[in-house]
Amino acid sequence: MAAATKIFAAQGLSAPTAIIAKEAGVANGSLFNYFQTKADLLNQLYLELKTEMAAVSLTGLPTESDIKHQLFYMWSRWLEWATSYPDKRRTLTYLGVSDEITPASHHAGSQAMAGIARLLERSRENGPMQDAPLGFVVSLMTALAEATIDYMVQDPANAKNHCKVGFDAMWRIVA
């Protein structure tokens, strides 16, 4: 998985399985002892990365603090993870738009983000988006996060500031 993440990040999803196997230090065919198909590998990797991202973002959540602080904590961890593991982040981005990822995987991916969605649900209570579908709000937040990450990666010197600016923008949307 680590090898695949690295190679996909560098070469895109069209990278040959042979390269991944070599990176992993195993033989060409060995890869297919673990994944029946390349598409299988893509789907499992998608789910793993998505799950890890969500899990990391919620680990150590200060549940005692007020909701804005909690949301900011989650947001920070998310963006920190994405900028700390650019390969994982880039690969996850590729996978998210790949047509090899099945609807089932996409659905499972959304499930993994349920915790984040719940946080957002509470954040928008009484806010201007209280009547919009929650899925819509999640999509907007995700889009902002992605755009912010891009900017942080592109201009690392001010990463922390961009992170804050992105969060404030997001907060203005929901609350």
Partner DNA sequence: CATGAATGAGGCTTCATTCAT
Partner DNA sequence: CATGAATGAAGCCTCATTCAT
Contacts of 151 by beta carbon, 8 Å cutoff, 6+ apart: 162, 166
**Token pair recorded at residue 36:** 């029946």
26 binds, among a second copy, DNA, none (CB under 5 to 8 A by kind): DNA
Binding segment (CB under 8 A) for a second copy, from list 20-28, 68-76, 77-85, 131-139 = 131-139
Instruction: Choose from a second copy, DNA, none: what does 33 bind? Cβ within 5-8 Å by kind.
Output: DNA
Q: Who contacts 65 (Cβ-Cβ below 8 Å, separation ≥6)?
A: 73
Interacting positions 38-97 with a second copy (CB under 8 A):
93-94, 97
Cβ-count burial of 53 within 10 angstroms (0-12 exposed, 13-18 middle, 19+ buried)? buried
CA distance 153 to 128: 31
Q: With contacts defined by CB under 8 A, name the span among 28-36, 54-62, 111-119, 146-154 that binds a second copy.
A: 146-154
Among 104, 118, 130, 136, binds a second copy (CB under 8 A): 136
Nearer to DNA, 18 or 114 (CB): 18
